[in-house]
Structure 1
Amino acid sequence: MTTRRFFLQKGILGITAATLVNIPAVFAEPVETNAAGEDTFKLAIAGYSFLNFNLDESLKMMKKVDVHYLCIKDFHLPYKSTAAEIEAFHAKLKANNVVGYAVGPIYTKNKGEIDNAFDYAKRVGVDLLIGIPAHADLEYVAQKTKEYNIRYAIHNHGPQDKLYPNAESIYNLIKNLDPRVGICFDMGHNKRDGRDSVADLQKFSKRIFDMHLKNVTSATNEGTTCELGRGVINIPAYVKMLRKVNYKGCCSLEYEKDMKDPLAGIAESVGYFKGVSDATR
């Protein structure tokens, strides 16, 4: 009998060598899952992927690709939203079988803006805030995580980012801070900074609270984001590492190509990630 797993394995292995790197070795090695055979990580979509779409349009796309977790951006739920507006927002998500699990990324330049970001996260009702603070404000961020009991994950943006180009640059600054201060690991931008994103996932996993799932065309500043299966990051190896480190957060697809017409690329990337996850299980 032809099983779903066999079909997915055959389909993925049939993709060109330019798409997958060293995939035979990855599939040859067993991977660990939890007792129920389900992964501890969840596939999500970063709200920035829907920059050019309202909430209804975004949720319609999420339904088409069967993804149920969303990192909330302010253009869908403004910072000054009232309690009634926040309640209506969550009701709409629930009606579409979607959970808003975090907010951000939120850029802040001073302590007042950090206060506002934490207040926003509390009012939205999430326990994770993705942010980009100034280095001088990191101790203050740590204080706020204690005050609100909300985790704060700092986002890296690659070689052009003078504050946080890669995961290591964040870790070195936060390693002695409150453990509720961590990393939103953008694996694509990390790769653009010449890093090994699979190795860095393992190295910094204890402080990675969230991640932006994406691939890039090259490990250079000139590299651009692309469909998940078409870039230079070995996604099957990455999925294997997610299991090895027992990552329990969201893998939030951030699709930045064709942003005015992203559905095809999002669907391809979601299908690829789900296929790889299933075939390597």
Structure 2
Amino acid sequence: MKLSTSNWLYDHDPATGRAYTPDESLGALKVAGYDSVDINIWPMCHPGGPMTKDDWKATIEAFGAAAEANGLPVYQTHGNTMGGTEWDDPDYPHRELRHICTLRCVEAAKMLQADCMVMHPFNLAHSSIYSAKENQKACLAYLAPYIEAAKKVGMRIAVENMIDFGRRHRRYCGGDIYELIELVETINDPDVGICIDTGHANISGMDPAAAIRAADKHLFALHINDNHSALGKDEHLLPYFGDINWTDVMQALRDVDYAGHLTYEINPQRVPGAAGPDWLRYTVQIGRHLISLAE
């Protein structure tokens, strides 16, 4: 199994706020020992971001050139999604821009020669009356144009399990992994599968290993991260810094014959740039240990 990480892990210096260039970021990841990278395109789609511009392809080409120059292939990408209160407002600002950017993300994933693009599922505005049936209907309609676009360019889509906020509100494909499995099986396309975010499962009250086993043949990709389940916060910590049982997680990946990469989605925390190389090497050491548990 190969070790990968989201470029989020090393995309800026927390001490100064300076954003790293694609070459700086991917070069450091390669030197640290990563085998591949997950390019997080989502933040580039925020209003004013590079994916909203007419010359958006130049940004993607820069990442592609950096990946090639550093010998760090792109295994997966993270596509655009809504954020904040947009979920609860069907007429939120920039709606059409979000749609355009998501279509661009599909093309970008192809440009980067990724194996798949990860997407968040859609859910209806939160209500005191939750309907899985109505949410699935809305999600199918939401995903349809992006799946169609992906089919045209030969790109696979991995739909990610989300967070269920319990008593505050239900979220479609949140804590119930079987909603996500049913969604993918309803789509019934061999190029549409699942991305398991271990942290999302953990704080939603589901054992991440059980989620992996349930996803089984539908598992295309991973977002590996840890957290403290009782806090209910999406902390995106390095494995072993929270309370997930990583021996079970890796055994589950072995049980389902997972053929993809072990991909981190870790918060860079507050590690300053000066300590970045040591931090990255440490994350690789943890990753290699995890992989050994599945061998």
Report the TM range for the smaller structure's normalisation. Answer: 0.7 to 0.9
Equivalent pair of 2:64/2:111 in contact (CA under 8 Å): no
Deviations along 1:153-190, one digit per CA (max 9) or x if unpaired, are 12233224834324433222221211211112101111
Instruction: State, as a whole percentage, how many aligned pairs show the same letter.
Output: 23
In structure 1, give the amino acid aligned to 2:68: K
Query: Following the alignment from structure 2 to structure 1, what is the Cα–Cα distance between the partners of residues 194 and 75?
Result: 16
From 67, 70, 90, the equivalent of 1:93 is 67
Change in CA separation of 1:222 and 1:254 when aligned onto 2, cut-off 3 Å:
closer
In structure 1, give the amino acid aligned to 2:203: R
What's the counterpart of residue 272 of structure 2?
Answer: 261
1:45 and 2:5 correspond: yes
In structure 1, give the amino acid aligned to 2:288: K
Query: Following the alignment from structure 1 to structure 2, what is the Cα–Cα distance between the partners of residues 115 and 122?
Result: 11
Which has more strand, going by share of residues? 1
Query: Following the alignment from structure 1 to structure 2, what is the Cα–Cα distance between the partners of residues 258 and 213?
Result: 15
What SS does the aligned partner of 2:229 have?
A: coil
TM-score (normalizing by structure 1): 0.73
TM-aligned CA deviation for residue 266 of structure 1: 4.5
Equivalent pair of 2:106/2:146 in contact (CA under 8 Å): no
Equivalent pair of 2:247/2:293 in contact (CA under 8 Å): no
Query: Following the alignment from structure 2 to structure 1, what is the Cα–Cα distance between the partners of residues 236 and 61?
Result: 34
Equivalent pair of 1:145/1:152 in contact (CA under 8 Å): yes
Report how many residues are paired: 241
Change in CA separation of 1:132 and 1:259 when aligned onto 2, cut-off 3 Å:
farther
Query: Following the alignment from structure 1 to structure 2, what is the Cα–Cα distance between the partners of residues 241 and 209?
Result: 14
What's the counterpart of residue 164 of structure 1?
Answer: 173
In structure 2, give the amino acid aligned to 1:46: S
Greater mean alpha carbon deviation, residues 75-84 or residues 107-116:
75-84
TM-aligned CA deviation for residue 44 of structure 1: 0.2
What SS does the aligned partner of 1:170 have?
A: helix
What SS does the aligned partner of 2:71 have?
A: coil
Equivalent pair of 2:8/2:268 in contact (CA under 8 Å): no
From 257, 272, 279, the equivalent of 2:286 is 272
What's the counterpart of residue 63 of structure 1?
Answer: 30
From 93, 105, 109, the equivalent of 2:79 is 105
What's the counterpart of residue 119 of structure 1?
Answer: 107
Query: Following the alignment from structure 2 to structure 1, what is the Cα–Cα distance between the partners of residues 204 and 240?
Result: 20
1:73 and 2:40 correspond: yes
Which has more helix, going by share of residues? 2
TM-aligned CA deviation for residue 90 of structure 1: 2.7
Equivalent pair of 2:196/2:222 in contact (CA under 8 Å): yes
Query: Following the alignment from structure 1 to structure 2, what is the Cα–Cα distance between the partners of residues 125 and 142?
Result: 17
From 205, 208, 221, the equivalent of 1:194 is 205
TM-aligned CA deviation for residue 251 of structure 1: 1.5
TM-score (normalizing by structure 2): 0.69
Equivalent pair of 1:145/1:181 in contact (CA under 8 Å): no
What do you get for the CA RMSD once the two structures are aligned? 3.0
Change in CA separation of 1:219 and 1:174 when aligned onto 2, cut-off 3 Å:
farther
Structure 1: where are the runs of 5+ without partners? 1-40
